[in-house]
Chain A
Amino acid sequence: MSELLNDILFLPEAASTFAERIDKLHHFVVGTTMVMSTAVGLAALFFFFRYRRRLPAQATEYVVPTLKTEFLFVSVPLVFFLAWFGIGFRDFTWVTTPPKDAMDVYVMGKQWMWKFSYPEGPNGVNVLHVPANRPVRLLITSRDVLHSFYVPAFRIKMDALPGRYTQIWFEATKPGTYQVLCTEYCGLSHSKMLAEVVVLPEEEYENWIKEQRRGRLQDRQDALADNSLVPPVARMVEQGQVLAGTQGCLKCHSVDGSQHIGPTFLGMYDRVEQLEDGQSIRVDEAYITQSMMDPGAHLVAGYQNVMPTYQGKLQGPETAAIVEYIKSLRTPNVREGASEGPAYDAIQ
């Protein structure tokens, strides 16, 4: 039944857990829409025929709706619309909130290609390998203009914004190869900004990762890559560590918990920081990125607004590498850190 509906509606194969949810709601919405509008249409047709004009100057009765009729006109659609919205919003919340055990992949849009990097693995251009039946979180950014990462078979899409990370997650249900398209107009070759997601069964994926780490398999796509963008060190954490040194981050931030000009990186990830303006914020990828690009936006209490912006100085993959480096410095003994944030339990 639902296969048939998908064919009638020209929906592509549904290959993620989110796709299954979306399609169900889609069928419900299309179904009620069809029934409701057919009813309105038939009523109209019936009226056109039943009340056709017989005399050129025919007079008509003065008919006005009762309050009850008008109330029905308002409440029936409202109930349906809110029901759809309720289900839709639940699913939306679900897809924008990655589960904690999700595997991370960095995605960077660039005119006109998609680059993928794994925190502890390889980089790739235009081909993303993921395991089946495991949640994957995409941390998406752009190097130049807006792009939008769209996988029709997974029914997911998220804009790629320069200088920022957005996130979305999915769990692929069927091994196979699925197309990635860019849906935000990005210039001349917008329509050629294609990539693919290769979903592998769990063991195959592990093997693939191992091969990549050994650096033996030369990705066929690597030839296409813009080499200036491929981080020289395969492991992002290591690269991040180097970058944190060369870019001068470590002049102000310690990595051993000691207090300095800025908050220490040790245990920073996932810590709740008290801010200068009295609010608090949980440190995540977005916050770290923002602190690099716009350091004054959320100042941690007790520190001066002295950090320079790294906007334009760091490229997407470099930002990602530093984020990964900071994430690698997780520790339970956050109390030693400079910040007054509450203690936290490391996830893992």
Chain B
Amino acid sequence: MTPSSSIAAPGATPAPEEHHDHHPSYLVDGTTIKSWVLTVDHKRIGLMFLFWVLLFFLVGGIFALLIRVELLTPGPTIMDAMTYNRTFTLHGLVMIFLFMIPAIPAVFGNFLLPLMLGAKDVAFPRLNLLSLYIYLGGAFLALWGMLNGGLDTGWTFYTPYSAHTTTTVAPVLFGAFIIGFSSIVTGINFIVTVHTMRAPGITWFKMPLFVWAIYATSCIQVLATPVIGLLLCLVTVENLFGFGMFDPARGGDPVLFQHLFWFYSHPAVYIMVLPAFGVMSEVVAAYSRKNIFGYRAVAYSSLGIAFVGFFAWGHHMFVSGQSTFTGGLFGVLTMLVGVFTAIKVFNWVGTVYKGAVDFKTPFAYFCGFLFFTVFGGMTGIALGTVSLDVPWHDTYFVVAHFHFIMVGATIMAFLAALHYWFPKMFGRTYHEGWGLVSAALIILGFNATFIPQFLLGNNGMPRRYYEYPERFQALNVASTAGASLLAFGFIIIAMYLTYALVYGKASGKNPWRSKGYEWLSESPPPTHNFVGPQPVFPEEPHFYVDPKKAEVPDAV
């Protein structure tokens, strides 16, 4: 059987001349609508998540561009103030809850985790399907609310404003609450999968680093999401029935809201960025044909970030009136996150040392990722330096910082993953030249969009401003120009990947000659991932040592 015999466009009927013992790829094993919408195959669920996540990314992206166009001039440009306030709320909410949080875990985690562990599926396949529908249910409820009445609180829903505003808070918050369940269910499923479904030979320290990252992420999701769920319920009740939990006019405490909110939302940053770190560990190893330099350090630092990530939330509140001592404590704990991230960065660069670098599209994204992580991380440390945060807090500096670290790093990883595993998922290849061109455009566009925003923040422009003093205009124009470049890059990607989906050349089983475990099965894999007896994994992932010279590695 040649690898290419199992390739077909999604939805195509299998060729009639197939052998009886042939195991069709998961893409063509069942072609009815029902076989997709009721599937329990983790790969199909991952693909459906991919579809929705991309759609929501488009929605969020359109709103981003509207924001940028509005900010082209100091006064009103294309919309009124209320519309603008709703636009940035919609942009933030859609990007965070509907794109970034599920993007890598729900798409690539779902698709790859069982393959990387030599398992047939995740531990609870039906629950997995349920998590997709919970996600969609919550997403549409929230979107419905945002379009019918709209919400102008920003994605942070700070009280007492969110308790007073007359815009539609309840359905949106309830939608976000429902989406939280999807996150929890996916997290539990992954944790159990990692604990119970590893094939013989895959010990904890032979797991691919992507699995480690998803595992750490799932732990955060399971522990932190209930807190925001509870909080969203309380705010909804407060808004609808006038309870006085957070409203000082009724004896409540608005700062309590902030504590609860950031107790989830700070770790949520790592829900977004840890999977990105995992993807990059795979990509850098595969394209430099090297074992990960400090495998254990990278694995442990994921757990470290997940852990200290829970104790850094107060750095969002340095000027909220919390005590000076508390500010200091949260400042120090923030530094620890920086150290764990630094360990990863050094080890990624170390991985390239004595490697064999093939500068393909995903590797280009790795370069962009390295840049965004280093600068995003460093500006994060600067913000954790308590006194510096005083002028920067709630200005465009913060907007630029979080776009660099969580958006930049996550988008780089998402695109790298999409390109690196595209052959795995669809059995086809895309045009490498276009891949590199659009990667360059996107990295350039991203910098051009957000570097001016760092400077805007330095200059003193607060975030969530519809109008701004004249002196901020030049940098805003630069940022908007960068955003158009960025959008252009995404359009190119959408075009050549869609083309590749239909007309792309057959990729073969393992076009990158990668030694990640997932490439041991066919591309695209058959429904049950591996044909024949349960696979065994004798070597550690990304072991590129010449077999004739191979010594048993003792250091790992």
Query: Interface residues, chain A, CB within 8 Å of chain B?
Result: 9-12, 21-22, 25-26, 29-30, 33, 36-37, 40-41, 43-44, 47-48, 51-65, 69-70, 73-74, 77-78, 81-82, 84-85, 87-93, 95-97, 144-146, 148, 150, 152, 155-159, 161-164, 166, 168, 179, 181-192, 194, 293-294, 309, 311-312
Contact = CB atoms under 8 A, between A and B. Distances in A.
Q: Is the interface of A mostly helix, strand, loop or mixed?
A: mixed
Given A59-B549, A145-B164, A162-B248, 20 more contacts: A10-B455, A11-B459, A36-B378, A60-B291, A60-B355, A65-B294, A73-B347, A74-B339, A74-B342, A84-B382, A87-B387, A91-B387, A146-B254, A161-B254, A161-B321, A179-B460, A183-B393, A183-B462, A189-B81, A294-B251
28 contacts: A9-B455, A12-B460, A33-B382, A37-B374, A37-B375, A40-B349, A41-B371, A48-B357, A51-B353, A51-B357, A53-B356, A59-B544, A60-B291, A60-B354, A62-B543, A64-B291, A65-B293, A73-B346, A74-B343, A77-B342, A84-B382, A88-B387, A92-B324, A152-B460, A156-B390, A161-B254, A182-B462, A194-B469
B29 interface: no
A81 B335 CA distance: 6
Contacts of A91: 386-387
Highest count of chain A CB atoms <10 Å: which of B367, B379, B381: B381
Interface stretch (B9-17, B153-161, B206-214, B525-533): B153-161
A76 to B, nearest CB: 8
A92 B327 contact: yes
B292 to A, nearest CB: 9
B388 interface: yes
B355 A64 contact: no
B248 A311 contact: yes
A157 B390 contact: yes
B332 interface: yes
A51 B153 CA distance: 51
A43 B350 CA distance: 9
A21 B387 contact: yes
A97 B384 CA distance: 19
Given A92-B324, A157-B393, A190-B465, A44 B346 contact: no
A58 B288 CA distance: 10
B294 A146 contact: no
Contacts of A162: 160, 248-249, 254
B378 A37 contact: yes
Given A51-B355, A56-B513, A91-B387, A185 B154 contact: yes
Nearest to B252: A163
Contacts of B342: 73-74, 77
A29 B388 contact: yes
Contacts of A152: 391, 459-460
Contacts of B379: 33
B545 interface: yes
Contacts, number: 286
B390 to A, nearest CB: 5
Given A92-B324, A159-B319, A184-B158, A40 B250 contact: no
Q: Which 3 A-B pairs have the closest CB atoms?
A: A152-B460, A163-B248, A59-B546
A162 B378 CA distance: 34
A181 B294 CA distance: 47
A145 B162 CA distance: 9
B161 A158 contact: no
Given A9-B458, A41-B371, A54 B356 contact: yes
Highest count of chain A CB atoms <10 Å: which of B154, B156, B254, B390: B390
Contacts of A63: 290-291, 293, 350, 353-354
Nearest to A311: B251
Contacts of A10: 455-456, 458-459, 475
Nearest to A33: B378
A309 B251 contact: yes
Nearest to B327: A92
B34 to A, nearest CB: 43
B358 interface: yes
Contacts of A96: 324, 327
Nearest to B154: A185
Interface in B358-388: 358-359, 367, 370-371, 374-375, 378-379, 381-382, 384-388
